[in-house]
Structure 1
Amino acid sequence: MWLTWRAATERALYGDNGFYLRECPSGHFRTSVGASSVFAEAVLCELVALDDALGGPPVIDLVDVGAGEGTLAAGVLAAAPPGLRPRLRVTGVDLAPRPARLPGEIAWARTVPDGINGLVIANEWLDNVPVDVAEQTADGPRLVLVDPSTGAERLGDRPSEADLAWLARWWPMRAPGERAEIGRPRDEAWASVIVRLARGRAIAIDYAHPVDDRPPCGTLAGYRDGAAVAPVPDGSCDITAHVALDACAAAGERAGAVTTALTTQRQALRALGVTGTRPPVEHARDDPRGYLRALARASQEAELIAAEGLGGFGWLSQARL
């Protein structure tokens, strides 16, 4: 049976007994959320600043899209100061069942709620929104079909007119053999988040590439047990591809975003006070335990902002205020 990559990935990740409905993501790949509680603290700093900008509303939302095991939502809730926590409404959004140990104050939903007044965080969500793969031929782009059981591929029909227009604008292919991942479903997914913002900010964090530097062979990949594997859409592994965040930004603006910022995680977290600065060594004599704690934190911060690692992730921030 031959399927488009989008259809095969949808079934492999989210179909009956799909990968994300039965597996804990932290067992297969490392994310900023799992790397350190510093990430949740940085998100809390963003939320506190937004709360002030909104004038301290009676209720302020934190919505974690693609919440997985609920680690980020729980971390922000636990770290929230006394003046904010009673007003904080936290919602985790995921197709997977509610995690058993999630604090009772955190709501769990399969879809993004309407009327959000606060902050939406989508950390490594868009890269798992399934997309089709196209390959350039002498006769123009063709869809790539895949056998879900083996990962074998062959060429299919031309993409739809809407997908051809997306390719022409956001990922033009020039030479036969070049490949592109058609990001239009991700644009639509992100726009659906923006329209649910009443007042506030939405931030998407993901592997990304810009329109003037798309990878000519695409980025489709598989992950299992912490290692890269062949992307076979049989449900045995994660299937992911980097995100055209610039295209998502344009879709967000069409959906009503009034401000847009595209940056890297390194730049965004440094602006939130995550610097990776090591404590002065002389503190080791005065307070050895405190020094070791500060040194451990500095190491965690450094991982989150490493330019060749997590710090290289793209951050798309859009607001309706």
Structure 2
Amino acid sequence: MGDNRRVMDERASVPTPPPPRGTEGHAALDRLLAQTIAAAGGWIGFDRFMALALYAPGLGYYSGGAPKFGHFPQGQNGAGSDFVTAPELSPLFAQTLAVPLAEALARTGTDALWEFGAGSGALAAELLAALDAMGVAVRRYTIVEVSGSLRARQRERLAAWGQRVQWADTLPDAIEGVVIGNELLDAMPVKLLARRGGVWFERGVARAADGAYAWVERPTELRPPIEPEGRHDYLTEIHPQAEAFVATLAERLRASPRGGAAFFIDYGFPEAEYYHPERSAGTLMCHRAHRADADPLSDVGEKDITAHVNFTGIALAAQDAGLSTLGYTAQGRFLLNCGIAQRMEAADLATRTQAHRLIAEHEMGELFKVLALCTGEGWPSCGFATGDRTHRL
């Protein structure tokens, strides 16, 4: 999987049973990070830090047992979640997404779905119900999940589908079917690049004398894919692991007899917008208890760390690995093309209100994008019937 294998490697680096989250778990993650930094000579790139903070087995944010997905922050209604994703926000998201997925299954002649990073299992449950209602035969729904705690939550939620739902923690040599990645790419570790006085540095993490984590920048030959205009200081991200993941996924899809397609839904921009001169502080953000902050060096392992997706880089990585682009557009336009407005008309007021957040430009409708890829020549996918922005990638 190229650089993306590092996430899996970090999971394997802690063989001892995971301690409970809280003070003990935080201390164990702190020790692991301190050992890793010391072994690397006192400095590690931010991508390594982010991988451990999120995925260290039993210690990282996604490996711990605390709830992450839901409507309410800590202490409210017992949910204790950190953020809400589209499937938790409204069942109309999955019901609408089922339409282009059914089309893709028919066009590729396959009957299997693959979801990477299935969170609470809400999307899988709603998709299976919707596709069953449509009479679309899905023989197998495979979830690729690195978090043991999330996998347990998914098993409980999806028990009704029995052996039709299976789990994997690595990619097989060949994948046949349709792949779904909802808010997947934003959680893949990124490298941080900083331009200071016209010189580029890689921003990494060291330990200060008091034991706290500290930013340290080192000169680097790495560059963003395009140079941001101007001479002002500039901080941004590059995404080698996400691009390596997509390239590997493309190889596995092309290795299967019938191939397939992939739909990625995430927040992000095309390259020209991502590296806009005014976006000089980057996009890195943390989420905890439905609040956002920009300090990934505090409360490590207790909050999510994300970066927006450079969809141009993802599309080019897929194209270089042999996939075709079905389309690229904003989530709001994609869902409207697939019939969410008609579903909203038939829903009650509360459901319509929540679903409106999926398509409203000031909510998720514009910030979130949909990129669809496939093996072979492709087809006119219903999700991109109007408003396709592939030309802007």
Q: Identify the TM-score tier after normalising by the shorter chain.
A: 0.7 to 0.9
Following TM superposition, by how much is the alpha carbon of 1:107 offset from its aligned partner in structure 2, in angstroms? 0.7
Structure 1 residues 112 and 271, CA, compared in 2 at 3 Å: closer, same or farther? farther
Counterpart in the other structure of 1:194 = 250
Aligned partner of 1:4 in structure 2 is 45
Task: Work out whether 1:274 is the aligned partner of 2:340.
Answer: yes
Q: Is the 8 A contact 1:231 1:239 kept in 2?
A: no
TM-score norm. by structure 1 comes to: 0.85
Say which SS state the counterpart of residue 341 (structure 2) adopts.
coil
Q: Which residue of 1 aligns with 2:364?
A: 310
- Sort the Cα spacing of 1:173 and 1:129 in 2 relative to 1 into closer, same or farther, 3 A: farther
In the alignment, the residues of structure 2 paired with residue 15 and residue 305 of structure 1 have an alpha-carbon distance, to the nearest angstrom, of 35
TM-score normalized by the length of structure 2: 0.70
Question: CA separation of 1:278/1:115 partners in 2, compared to 1, >3 Å: closer, same or farther?
Answer: closer
Unaligned runs of 5+ in 2: 1-36, 38-42, 70-80, 377-393
1:25 aligns with 2:68: yes
- The answer for the alignment partner of 1:225 in structure 2 is 289
What corresponds to 1:116 in structure 2? 175
Structure 1: segments with no counterpart, 5+ residues: 280-290
Letter in 1 for 2:252: R
Select 1:157's aligned residue among 210, 219, 225.
219
Deviation for aligned residue 1:82: 6.1
Q: For residues 82 and 61 of structure 1, do their structure 2 counterparts lie closer, same or farther at Cα, with a shift above 3 Å needed?
A: same
Determine if the alignment matches structure 1 residue 177 to structure 2 residue 228: no
Superposition map of 1:212-251 within 5 A:
212-214=272-274, 215-233=279-297, 234-251=300-317
Mapping 1:25-64, distance limit 5 Å: 25-26=68-69, 27-55=81-109, 57=110, 60-64=111-115
Larger mean CA deviation between 239-248 and 95-104 belongs to: 95-104
- Cα distance in 1, alignment partners of residues 212 and 371 from structure 2: 35
Give secondary structure in 1 for the equivalent of 2:87.
helix
Partner of 2:205: 146
- Corresponding residue pairs, total: 300
Residues of 2 paired with 1:42 and 1:315: CA distance? 13
Question: Which has the bigger relative contact order, CA under 8 A and spacing at least 6?
Answer: 1
1:183-235 Cα distance to aligned partner (Å, 9 max, x none): 12211111222222242210111111222222221011111111113432421
Which residue of structure 1 lines up, in the alignment, with residue 119 of structure 2?
A: 68
- The RMSD of aligned alpha carbons is 2.3
Q: In the alignment, is the contact (CA less than 8 A) between 2:198 and 2:231 conserved in 1? A: no
Show the counterpart of 2:12: none
Q: Which amino acid aligns with 1:318?
A: L
Shift of 1:300: 2.9
Supply the distance in 1 between the matched residues of 2:130 and 2:303 (Cα, whole angstroms). 33
Cα distance in 2 for partners of 1:186, 1:133 equals 14
Say if 1:178 and 1:77 are closer, same or farther in 2 by CA, change over 3 A: same
